[in-house]
Structures are given as structure tokens and as C-alpha cells.
Structure 1
């Protein structure tokens, strides 16, 4: 009887370990612009989504929709230096970072232990990964993980960022990504939400 109990405990421990290893982590980088809600439009407020009267950054919106359908833990990637939240200033700042090839310091880095699939949600900035994503992928080891890009964009789609991630993390598996076209979008998009949910099911991330 004692042996059976020990085996049962061991089996439960193995089950718990397997469950932990199958968990999803959803990392997102977002810079919602400081545009008054009543003045939002598809140019000055393209980084802001309003859902249930809550202001969300566009990548945060995608991340939370993934969590709703596929489950997982959320991690917001933030930099030590704050980004401008005025549209043109943000565009100029992001372009200057790219021009100088800056790797912004991160406030914290995600702990990937116990996770199998890492969703990474981010906007396309000047046809590239935002520079904080380079900091993330150069400083955190994603070896053996599945990386799923989730991008918000104004027409450039993934813009080759999935290939950039694969180069930065050659020991990880970069999966097909999901693209959300944001131009003139300021409110929650139920059509996109259903499309994302269906895509997650087809890819095997949700039932």
C-alpha cells in the first residue's frame, strides 16, 4: 500500500510537471498613445484600442485575446526609458533608435522556465521589430521553445520580423504568426477576435 501511495504521488508530480511545461507565456510590447478617447482616429491613435471602455495598447489587446482563447500568463515588456506617447514624437523616436541600432534597457525579463510556447505580441515599427524586441531576443534564451509572433501593423504585415526572430533565436522554433491590420482601427474588432480564436484552434493552441 505504501508503495502504491508513493507511485501515486510520483505520478501526480509528473502530471503537474507536464502541465506546467505545456503552459503558454504571452509576452507583449505596447506603447498606447496619449490621445483623448473622444479624439481617437486611425492615424493619431492607431496604437490604442478601446474595449469595454478600457484603453488598451494594440499589442496588449492581441495578447489578452490570446489569453482568453488559449490561456497562459501575460508579461508586459517594458523599457527603463519611457517612450513618447504623442504619435509623431513616437514615430521619430522609434526611427532614431533604429538608425542608431540602440538596444533599450529592459525593466525586467520574462522567466521562460516551465513554458513550451511563447506568444510575442508587438507592433511593426518602420517595417521592423521595435528595438526593445532585439533587447529581449538577444538577452533571453528561448532555446527549445516555440515562438509565435503576433503583430499589429498598418499594411506591412509581418515584414520579415519572423525571420529576424529566427536568426536571433536559432535554437527556438518560430511558428507561423498572426497579423492584425490596424489602419483606422480604434475600437475592439469582434471579427478579428473571432478570426484570432479560430486561428488559435487551427494551429493547435486552443480547443
Structure 2
């Protein structure tokens, strides 16, 4: 009997210990399950903000792009602004009109304008001359075809609006095969030169002005034609001034004794 009581008491003492062990295990499992079910802040889908350095880079890029766009717009505006060969309004009654395909005659004309305080008018062809057009070694080039055609009259891009204001016209051109380019004929046939003084000048490598000027007289028969002068493309201002002084033009508005 005593042995049975001892066994019973031993079993009674072991039961609470087994309950505590089970409770601890269940609690641990529950905590683990709870941790797995709740998402952590590191894996949440929160938006990522840009750093200040990234934002600065984008602003610089945007600013650079805007600057390029503005520059292109200004370039387009500049290119759309047309240039004009019309003389500016002035009190002078002297005009320097010229045609220049390569720039030699243009230099002489600019010197004359400055010397005479004259207006300047460039005779610009409606269809510009290319290097191929001026390749004189080719019989079929445009310049040769025009010079060989008595009726050729190349169109001028812009007319002179105030020809009546001028009394003295210095007329410049390069020599093409001994003669004035046919666009000079176009110019002379476009206006009334009655009573005006025309002073021709030309540029060439070696040929003189020769008949290039006298052959133009019939195109403005009512004008007073002066003797012309040939210049090299590199003529100095002193050479040009000496020629002007020798003209002895006694005309109102003409600067004598330069």
C-alpha cells in the first residue's frame, strides 16, 4: 500500500512539469508564426525618393536642352532675316552699282563708295553663279553660253527703287571674254538713264576695259558716258582716288579735289 502511495505521489508531481513544458513550446510556435505573417518594413513597396544629386543632374540636363533649343530658334530667326542690296536713304546723288561674281569688283566698289560718300547697290543675279557656271575652260558653262548669246539677259533679284534720285552712276563689273557680263545689259535696260552720267569701271587679270564699256552705250543712249577704267582686284585706295581725281566731273554733289 505504501508503495502504491509513493508511485501515485510521484505521478502527481510530474504532471505540472509536463504542462509547463507544453505551454512553453506552444508559445514559441505561436510567436514564430506571428513573425512570419507580419511583413517587415524593408520589404514594403514604399516609393523611393531621388537624392539631391540626381535632381541636380536632371535640372542641368534640362537647362542645357533649353539653351540649345533657344540657340537653334535664334539661329533660325537670324537666317530668315533677308539681306537687302537697296541703298539707304541719303542726300547723295551718286550711286555705285556693281556686279561681282568672285569679290574683286566688290572691293573696288566699296572703296569708291567710301571715297565718294555714295550709295551702294549690288546687282545680284536671281540665279547665283556657281563655280561650275564660271568654269571658262568648258564651252558649255553658263558664263560662256550667256556671253555667246546676244539676247541673253540674266534676271536680277532685286530692283533699284529710287534710280531717279541719282545723277552720277559708277558702274562696275568683271571682264568676261573681253566684255561686260550680260547681267550688266539687264541692268541698263531696266531703267531710264536720260541725262545721267555713267562712269564705268571693271576688274580683270590683264585685259583693259576696251570695248566692254563702249558696247554698252547703245543700251543707255541718252546718258553721258565717261571714259572707263580697269583695275586689278588688289588695286589700292590711292590708285582709285587718283582715277576719281582725274575725272574732273563738274557736277553738283560730286566731291571735287579728293
Aligned twin of 2:179: 128
Query: Residue 133 of structure 2 contacts residue 142 of structure 2 at CA under 8 Å; is this kept in 1?
Result: no
Query: Residue 178 of structure 1 contacts residue 196 of structure 1 at CA under 8 Å; is this kept in 2?
Result: no
Q: Which structure has greater helix proportion?
A: 2
Shift of 1:131: 0.8
Q: Which of 129, 149, 159 in structure 2 is aligned with 1:109? A: 159
Count the aligned residue pairs: 157
Aligned twin of 1:54: none
Higher-RCO chain (CA-CA 8 Å, sequence separation at least 6): 1
Q: Which of 7, 24, 28 in structure 1 is aligned with 2:94? A: 24
Q: Which of 207, 232, 240 in structure 2 is aligned with 1:156? A: 207
**TM-score under structure 2 normalisation?**
0.56
Asked if 1:82 corresponds to 2:128, the answer is yes
Aligned twin of 2:60: none
- Mapped partners of 2:167, 2:136: distance in 1: 34
Q: Which structure has greater strand proportion?
A: 1
Alignment of 1:125-204 (within 5 A): 125-182=176-233, 188-189=234-235, 192-204=236-248
Structure with bigger gyration radius: 2
- Mapped partners of 1:164, 1:145: distance in 2: 18
Shift of 1:201: 2.0
- Mapped partners of 2:214, 2:182: distance in 1: 15
The DSSP-based 3-state class of the residue aligned with 1:151 is strand
- Mapped partners of 1:77, 1:121: distance in 2: 10
Q: Which moved more, 1:100-109 or 1:58-67?
A: 100-109
Provide runs of 4+ in structure 1 moved above 6 Å: none
